Amino acid sequence: MKYYVYEHWRTDTDLCFYVGKGCGNRAYSMTKRWTNHKAVQKYLSDNGFAIEVRMVQTGLLRQCFASSASGRKSDEAPEPASQRPGRSRDALRL
């Protein structure tokens, strides 16, 4: 099975607020998301905006996700982009 890395962007501010990995339709599915993601979804929807999905890398093998620079294993939940070192929380501001 092939995997990919994707980003979710706010169309009102043109800021990335989530980076994830997935396969199949995961990048476009807005269910089973963390609380802040759901809040951004609702805010955008209520104000006539949407989430833009941008593919970063496609055609990856699962082994590519065996470990990361943060030491997180591939089956652990990703850290929200806004909470990673050097990231701004501006993307989550409503």
pLDDT of 31 reads 92
Cβ neighbour number for residue 91 with a 10 Å cutoff: 20
Q: What are the tens digits of pLDDT across the range 44-78?
A: 999 999 999 999 999 998 776 665 555 554 445 55
Q: What are the tens digits of pLDDT across the range 1-51?
A: 899 999 999 999 999 999 999 999 999 999 999 999 999 999 999 999 999
42 in a domain, yes or no?
A: yes
The total of structural domains in the chain comes to 1
Strand order in the sheet with 15-22: 15-22, 3-10, 51-60
Q: What is the pTM of this model?
A: 0.69
Domain hosting residue 37, numbered range: 3-79
44 in a domain, yes or no?
A: yes
Indicate the SS3 state at residue 61. coil
26 in a domain, yes or no?
A: yes
Q: Per the structure block, which two tokens stand in for 9? A: 């962007």
For residue 92, is pLDDT > 80? no
For residue 90, is pLDDT > 60? yes
88 in a domain, yes or no?
A: no
Integer Cα distance of 82 and 19 in angstroms: 10
Do residues 22 and 64 make contact, with C-beta atoms less than 8 angstroms apart? Answer: no
Which residues contact residue 85 at a Cβ distance below 8 angstroms, ignoring those fewer than 6 apart?
Answer: none
87 in a domain, yes or no?
A: no
38 in a domain, yes or no?
A: yes
